[in-house]
Amino acid sequence: MKRSRFAIVALLVLALIGVGLAGSTATAKKNTIHPKVGHYEGRDSHHRHIRFFYGSHNQILNFRVEHTAFPPAHVQSGKWHHTCHNNHCTRGHWITATDVHGHWNISTQGGDVPFTARWVSH
């Protein structure tokens, strides 16, 4: 009798764990942001103009701070990791389909500078 109760309780616990895992997976999939393709513009924390293009091949292209160019970066799951070329680096993530938060730096000139940008056109 004790064994059958234990088995039933164990099965219930495993079932609840399975439901919880399935729910968290569904939530993670639902919360994935799909960035809108197009041109983005914004400002950094020093009020410098930021602009870039996000393309349909999951690439950040033509990232510029004022007139300074930065390298292309690959976007995955609504974010791109620290990407550098010739000491010019960026990283960032979408907080909505059209709003981006990130950082840029020129590693020979100091630390990270935060920026925000918003989709402006195709």
- pLDDT digits 0-9 by tens, 29-66: 456 899 999 999 999 999 999 999 999 899 999 999 99
pLDDT over 90 for what percent of the chain?
Answer: 70
Q: Are the CB atoms for 50 and 43 separated by under 8 Å? A: yes
19 and 73 belong to one structural domain = no
What pTM value is reported for the model?
A: 0.74
71 and 92 belong to one structural domain = yes
Q: What is the dihedral of CA 41, 38, 101, 32, to 10 degrees?
A: 160
54 and 114 belong to one structural domain = yes
Question: CB-side exposure of 28: number of CA atoms within 13 Å?
Answer: 7
Domain holding 23, by residue range, is 1-31
Number of domains in the chain: 2
23 and 43 belong to one structural domain = no
